[in-house]
Amino acid sequence: MSDDSRASWGSKIGLILASAGSAVGLGNLWRFPYIAAQNGGGSFLLIYLLFTFSIGITLVFAESALGIKTKSDPTGAFGWINPRLKIIGIIGVLTSAIIVPYYSVVGGWIVAYIVKSFSTISIENFETHFTDFISSPVQPLLFFYIYLLSTATVVYFGIENGIEKFCKLMMPLLFLLLIVLMVRVLTLDNALDGVKFFFLPDFSKVTAKTFLNAMGQVFFSISAGMGIYITYGSYVKNNDTPVAKTMYSVVILDVMVSLLTGLTIFPAVFSFGLPMNAGPALTFITLPKVFSAITFGQFFGFIFFVILLGAAITSSISLMEVVTTYLCDQVKISRKKAIFYYTLVCLVTGTLVSLSFGKLSGFKIGGKILFDQFDYLASNILLPVGGFLTAIAIGWVLGPEKLVISKNKALQKGFEFCIKWIAPICVFFILLNAVGLI
Ligand code: PHE
């Protein structure tokens, strides 16, 4: 890793905030509600929580501990376990290269909504306004370029100083605003139906697919399975940092933001009688409707989308940083060049992804437009595969006892058991099912 990027966090809180910045993002505020809605609400929530506090948290601990120990990028870290395992780091890089383009397309929508929040859209038009916007050939592309170039600029200037300060400001604001919104939405008519849908499990809706989707959501939401925490952990100076004690808060924060989002979106959906199957459009149609119904709604709308943008950019930065660090380190090109080439690749793929809502909507792979295909491939396949291989590498090749995540014996033993048995077995069977082998 080049020297300029190998700085260290100012404090433990730096690691926590940067990690939370990566974890909390579109996965919580945009993806979680519509995936939960498509998968039956309460039953999905239960499986999502189960996976988060078993497989998810174990991988966060494992990746962070590996980063802190090896002080290396993901390929170097896995290479330290065994040179042949470098491939696991490369899968992470590939995953990032797939997530960034479509993540940034949604990032572009947010930028557009911030601009739009200055003008009023009449209430009947929210649905058509959104679908017209994302399917038009020029506008979404322009906003996507703005978002992508802003992300690249932040990564270019380095993240240590910027990201710590940025997250410190953004996270509390995000929580505060979500709570205000949630309280307001919960007092709307029929709001309770939404709460019931979100919390009451309906097991008749649970299929093998629900497990795959919940697992995909867990990996995506906490940024597990592609070496983010290895990279961030490698910037920790103090090798004695208690991993579990430090990193559990990242997982808790991430889950809390998802819960707050669910408690805002579902009551809103029910009280406005909106369709539950709106898919990626859910946040962009439902929330503006809520904002238009509350006092100072336009102002709240503006603030909400600014915060959403902040949350998204801190995640994009972490995704881009993994690829940049890899290119500097392994391909041995300068940081400037790495960002330039990578941004170019994202520009091209992102353009195709954005157009898949309009001009290219006829082009489908396996019945899915490019946008959905990218998301499916990254969240449901590549991240879990990365997580599975991470668990095998640590649980079976390195030996989990070599990574100390806590001085508490029971916790350490629980971690070792999870990384060795629970995580790989669960992920393996769900993936087998996904590809139709069982
Ligand atoms: N966790 C981020 C979110 O919730 C997305 C992400 C996935 C970031 C994987 C990094 C790695 O939006």
Using alpha carbons only, what angle is made at residue 409 by residues 405 and 410, rounded to the nearest 5 degrees? 100
pLDDT at position 215, please?
A: 94
Q: Which residue has the tokens 């979500």?
A: 178
Tokens coding 61: 């601990």
pLDDT at position 2, please?
A: 39
What gap in Å lies between CA 175 and CA 16, rounded to an integer? 16
The residue whose CB lies within 8 Å of the most ligand 1 atoms, and thus the one to mutate among 106, 315, 317, is 315
Least confident range from 78-82, 87-91, 243-247, 307-311: namely 307-311
pLDDT band at residue 4 under the 50/70/90 scheme: very low
Stretch 125-141: mean pLDDT, rounded? 88
What gap in Å lies between CA 94 and CA 67, rounded to an integer? 19
pLDDT band at residue 124 under the 50/70/90 scheme: low
Rg of the chain on CA atoms, in Å: 21
The residue whose CB lies within 8 Å of the most ligand 1 atoms, and thus the one to mutate among 231, 318, 379, is 318
Contacts of 212 (CB under 8 A, 6+ apart): 380, 430, 431, 433, 434
Say if ligand 1 is within 6 A of residue 26 CB.
yes
Say if ligand 1 is within 6 A of residue 27 CB.
yes
Stretch 5-30: mean pLDDT, rounded? 83
* pLDDT exceeds 80 at position 9: no
* pLDDT exceeds 90 at position 412: yes
Say if ligand 1 is within 6 A of residue 17 CB.
no
- pLDDT one-digit tens code per residue, 324-356: 888 887 888 998 999 999 999 999 999 999 999
Instruction: Find out whether 202 and 36 touch, Cβ atoms under 8 Å.
Output: no
Q: Which residue has the tokens 């995640």?
A: 315
Query: In which element (H, E) is residue 192 found?
Result: helix 191-199
Which residue did the predictor score with more confidence, 96 or 10? 96
Cα(49) to ligand 1 centroid in Å equals: 17
Percent of the chain with pLDDT over 70: 95
Say if ligand 1 is within 6 A of residue 228 CB.
yes
Which residue did the predictor score with more confidence, 49 or 268? 49
Among 99-108, 123-132, 240-249, the range with the most confident prediction by mean pLDDT is 99-108
pLDDT band at residue 283 under the 50/70/90 scheme: confident
Say if ligand 1 is within 6 A of residue 110 CB.
no
What gap in Å lies between CA 266 and CA 33, rounded to an integer? 8
pLDDT band at residue 111 under the 50/70/90 scheme: very high
Say if ligand 1 is within 6 A of residue 390 CB.
no
Least confident range from 178-192, 246-260, 372-386: namely 178-192
Stated pTM of the model: 0.92
Stretch 369-382: mean pLDDT, rounded? 94
Q: Which residue has the tokens 């972490």?
A: 318
What gap in Å lies between CA 85 and CA 75, rounded to an integer? 8
Indicate which residue's Cα is closest to atom 10 of ligand 1. 223
Domains of the chain and any CATH numbers: 12-371 (1.10.4160.10)
Instruction: Find out whether 68 and 236 touch, Cβ atoms under 8 Å.
Output: yes
- pLDDT one-digit tens code per residue, 183-241: 988 998 899 999 999 999 989 989 999 999 999 999 999 999 999 999 889 888 877 88
Cα(373) to ligand 1 centroid in Å equals: 17
Least confident range from 62-71, 179-188, 351-360: namely 179-188
What gap in Å lies between CA 347 and CA 353, rounded to an integer? 10
Indicate which residue's Cα is closest to atom 9 of ligand 1. 223
Stretch 108-131: mean pLDDT, rounded? 79
pLDDT at position 262, please?
A: 95
* pLDDT exceeds 90 at position 35: yes
What average pLDDT is seen over the chain? 89
Least confident range from 43-57, 149-163, 341-355: namely 149-163
What gap in Å lies between CA 111 and CA 143, rounded to an integer? 6
Atom of ligand 1 nearest to the CA of 222: 1
Cα(32) to ligand 1 centroid in Å equals: 12
Say if ligand 1 is within 6 A of residue 226 CB.
yes
Stretch 309-323: mean pLDDT, rounded? 91
Cα(348) to ligand 1 centroid in Å equals: 21
The CA–CA distances, whole Å, from 309 to 103, 107, 260, 336 equal 11, 7, 17, 24
Indicate which residue's Cα is closest to atom 4 of ligand 1. 27
Stretch 92-112: mean pLDDT, rounded? 94
Phi/psi at 356 (nearest 5 deg)?
-70, -10
pLDDT at position 7, please?
A: 60
DSSP 296-363: THHHHHHHHHHHHHHHHHHHHHHHHHHHHHHHHHHS---HHHHHHHHHHHHHHHHHHHHHTTTTTTT-
* pLDDT exceeds 70 at position 120: no
CA atoms within 13 A on the CB side of 314: 31
